Structure 1
Amino acid sequence: MYVHYRVPVAVTHKLPIIMVHGSGLTGMSWETTPDGREGWATYFTRHGFKVYVVDFPGRGRAGFNVTPINQAKFTQDVSGQPSLSRTGLESAWIAFRMGPSDFVPFPGVQAPEATATGLNEEIAEQFSAQGVPNGESTLDPVSSVTVPASIDALLDKIGPSILMVHSQAGTFADNAVAGRPGLVKMMIHVESNCGALSAAAIAAYKQVPNVLYIHGDNVVGNPASTGQPRLTLCTAAQTAINAAGGRATLNRNRF
């Protein structure tokens, strides 16, 4: 795993923030917006937090395992070659809920890639350029083992932290909460891929002082995106944590 850290001259908050990206992305998604505005990484650093931005194994600056690709090349046997997928702009437009179909915007959409009439090509090009192949398909062991182990190692190194995750990284966060009790002091899920929490996971989340689920707009009535299924699962997770005596909040925001 690659970690880019920022430490302000004046640290005014005791707990650092670890930011973990989602599918098809790298830590770049926390660093700047497609239209060049400040990202959350520098925003929180300016406000006195130490910030650790992750590229998890198989992605971005962490690199991927080229061995299975080379083996397929030299043996002329592609049966074991992993699939490297990358989300295109059309799919991202719908998944990120900029509009209900390709380059058709939702009314009042605030994403800079979109305008009232459709695509802002210059900014959309920068947005699309943030996407990379999901190279963790080359890893052995698989990402469901490798990524949580890497996050655990980072927590062991820097100590108690706020863990902020996006999308795919939601399930990795569940592992971190269970695997490093006492080190995750706040858990922030930004439209995470929430799974159904086991009794053990709920018990682990109960020990986290604050759990926050954040979801944006244009969720209801948009079956082509993952927004509604994720909101439903994260709402269930929030309810289960609170029912067990934990402290979880779900916020709906317009980004």
Structure 2
Amino acid sequence: MKTTRKKIWKSLALGLTLSIGMYMLPVMSAEAAVQKPLTIAEQGSFTVGGTYKQHPGTFSQENFIAEDGQRAYGDFAYVEYQKPVKAKRMPLVFQHGGAQSKRTWESGPDGREGFNTMFVRAGYSVYLVDQPRSGESNLSTEAVTPDTPWASNPMYGDKTLYVLSRVGHYDEAGNPVPNAQFPAGEKNYQAFQQSWTIGSGPLDNDLNADVLAKLADQQKDGAVLVTHSMGGTIGWRTAIRSDKVKGIIAYEPGGTPFIFPETEMPKITEARFKALSASAMGVPMEDFLKLTRIPIILYYGDYIKIGSENVGEDKWGTEYAMAQQFVAAINRHGGDATLVHLPEIGIKGNSHFLMQEKNNAEILKLALNWLKKKGLDK
């Protein structure tokens, strides 16, 4: 009798456990998915490119701090990478924008997961680049010059970059007004401001493209470039230099020239502050046509309006107008370029740093769908 009762209680307990488990399973699975560890097969870092300048004379230990006979090394890119288990064939190579570094693609101001590991979770090998003379590639063979961006004025940041990046603007009392997607609060504002970096030498986007092309050439099956802001022009130039570039995802390219055939230069839309206007650079037609052989997509966020009283909105209005002409030129010559203005597809409130904002998972999904559509997800 006791044995029978024990069996009954065991059966009831098991049934209750299974019943509770069935109700809890969806919740537990969702939590497990969020907390699922990254499965990394390989990770590391290395440098690409670089050169040195030789000082005349002979090195001697008696005067070992003198320049005589020594070399100044620099002008390389620092690359940090992660390869997931069962990685897709084609990696993603991330190029940051001006006064930034590979931190652009890492955790956002509020600590949310960045594109670097989000794409790894999606099965892609990820290569984060610090371009020459920036971030952890901060050795330069050329001295900083007065025209080196941002270097001569450490107070250039703060409100200037806040407004230019469309993170927000200021009301009549001078208080910052944030947008809908950038994480609000002083702590997040400070984290955003601490992401900027000053170049250690003159900005040279041909040098940057040369080095990025070397990295692309090292990828057996090619790579997809993912660029941001001033890194856009580096992406276009890299694709001209290397046939290993198989596609480009450009987040708000601008601040440096778009590429056009030298016989088909675009109309320049001037910003209220003329120096902030979008720009273009002409190249031989044979070079431009290389951009028509790969799929390209450009994403722009919200708060973009030519003639706006907000300097950043006006500036990026001119860049968007240039992007429209760039995409039209590529497609006119048989290419495959797409321009996406997020508000037009119902995604609102994003600034220039859309990859770091509250809806960055939604932004990422757009790219994943595009990669799949173009057959770049194998």
Per the normalisation by structure 2, the TM-score is 0.57
Equivalences for residues 141-152 of structure 1 within 5 A: 143-152=204-213
Equivalences for residues 234-253 of structure 1 within 5 A: 234-253=323-342
Q: For residues 52-95 of structure 1, give each alpha carbon's deviation from its aligned partner in whole angstroms, at most 9, with x where no partner exists.
A: 000000001111327737xxxxxxxxxx6774255512112111
Q: Of the two structures, which has the highest relative contact order with CA contacts closer than 8 Å and spacing of 6 or more? A: 1
Quick one: which of 186, 189, 193 aligns to 1:121? 186
Determine which structure has the larger strand proportion and give its number: 2
Q: Is the 8 A contact 1:18 1:163 kept in 2?
A: yes
Quick one: which of 182, 191, 202 aligns to 2:252? 191
Equivalent in the alignment of 1:135: 200
Change over 3 Å in CA distance of 1:89–1:247 after alignment to 2: same
Count of residue correspondences: 231
Equivalent in the alignment of 2:180: 109
Equivalent in the alignment of 1:42: 117
The alpha carbon displacement at 1:2 in A equals 0.2
Distance 1:103 1:164 in 2: 34
Distance 1:103 1:162 in 2: 41
Task: State yes or no: 1:97 paired with 2:166.
Answer: yes
SS across alignment from 1:68: coil
Q: CA RMSD in A?
A: 2.1
Equivalent in the alignment of 2:103: 28
The alpha carbon displacement at 1:99 in A equals 2.0
Distance 2:130 2:175 in 1: 29
Change over 3 Å in CA distance of 1:180–1:220 after alignment to 2: same
SS across alignment from 1:10: coil
Identity %: 24
Change over 3 Å in CA distance of 1:123–1:213 after alignment to 2: same
Q: Is the 8 A contact 1:16 1:50 kept in 2?
A: yes
Distance 2:319 2:147 in 1: 27
Equivalent in the alignment of 2:300: 215
Q: For residues 98-130 of structure 1, give each alpha carbon's deviation from its aligned partner in whole angstroms, at most 9, with x where no partner exists.
A: 223465326x52101x3xxxxx21111111111
Change over 3 Å in CA distance of 1:177–1:196 after alignment to 2: closer
Change over 3 Å in CA distance of 1:247–1:66 after alignment to 2: closer
Quick one: which of 60, 68, 81 aligns to 2:135? 60
Q: Is the 8 A contact 2:143 2:201 kept in 1?
A: no
Q: Match for 1:169: what amino acid?
A: G
Task: State yes or no: 1:161 paired with 2:223.
Answer: yes
Distance 2:99 2:175 in 1: 20
> Which protein has the larger Cα radius of gyration, Structure 1 or Structure 2?
2
SS across alignment from 2:339: strand
Quick one: which of 225, 235, 239 aligns to 1:177? 239
Q: Is the 8 A contact 2:106 2:116 kept in 1?
A: yes
Distance 2:303 2:328 in 1: 22
Q: Is the 8 A contact 2:105 2:116 kept in 1?
A: yes
SS across alignment from 1:248: strand
Quick one: which of 10, 23, 34 aligns to 2:86? 10
Equivalent in the alignment of 2:60: none
Q: Is the 8 A contact 2:80 2:129 kept in 1?
A: yes
Distance 1:82 1:224 in 2: 22
Q: Match for 1:245: what amino acid?
A: G
